């Protein structure tokens, strides 16, 4: 795409870093801090870590598909009847930078943020497990277009839900595939991804 006043998202983001963005990331940091208070040994006790990569398909016909990535940490909901099937988790999500499909309306759209929610799983056998996630997505969206002087930012919170399957591949390691749906303003991006995880 051409005619953008700012071609580098990193440089523009740095130039536009103001009080609004500082408050946003302080809020994200607070969420992580509260998570560590509730589960102070989550990173060292029983739990899991995951990385997923795939692509995002926006439900708007104006935007092209784009690459996405995600990192999660989770720990069982201890002290409850659901401990064996339910986990509390936090995730860091990048939904990618999408470009418009129409040449007459050129713009770019990017979303990232943090998820905080629950993961439920069911084992069909020792070789196959299904899972689902749901929770709140704290996000920041950015838009760049020829008619804008710089990237425009907005923040919000909304729900997300996912479903997936996983199989063990090595001691404590597993592979999976997942379908995720987020709510971002009035757009509902769907993410198709491959998951790599480790239990500890």
pLDDT per residue as tens digits for the range 36-60: 555 544 444 568 889 899 989 876 6
Question: Given this structure, which CATH class describes domain 9-199?
Answer: mainly beta
Half-sphere exposure for 200 (CA within 13 Å, toward CB): 12
Whole-model pTM over 0.85: no
pLDDT per residue as tens digits for the range 60-89: 667 788 888 888 888 776 555 566 788 889
- Domain locations along the chain: 9-199
């Amino acid at each position: 795409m051409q005619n953008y006043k700012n071609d580098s998202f990193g440089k523009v983001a740095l130039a536009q870093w103001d009080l609004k963005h500082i408050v946003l990331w302080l809020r994200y940091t607070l969420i992580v801090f509260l998570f560590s208070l509730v589960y102070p040994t989550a990173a060292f006790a029983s739990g899991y870590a995951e990385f997923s990569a795939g692509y995002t398909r926006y439900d708007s016909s104006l935007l092209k598909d784009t690459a996405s990535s995600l990192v999660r940490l989770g720990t069982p909901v201890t002290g409850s009847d659901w401990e064996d099937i339910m986990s509390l988790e936090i995730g860091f999500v990048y939904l990618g930078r999408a470009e418009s499909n129409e040449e007459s309306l050129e713009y770019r759209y990017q979303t990232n943020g943090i998820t905080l929610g629950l993961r439920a799983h069911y084992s069909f056998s020792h070789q196959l497990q299904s899972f689902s996630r749901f929770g709140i997505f704290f996000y920041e969206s950015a838009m760049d277009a020829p008619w804008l002087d710089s990237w425009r930012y907005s923040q919000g919170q909304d729900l997300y839900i996912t479903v997936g399957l996983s199989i063990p591949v090595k001691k404590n390691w597993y592979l999976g595939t997942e379908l995720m749906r987020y709510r971002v303003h009035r757009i509902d991006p769907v993410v198709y991804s491959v998951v790599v995880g480790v239990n500890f």
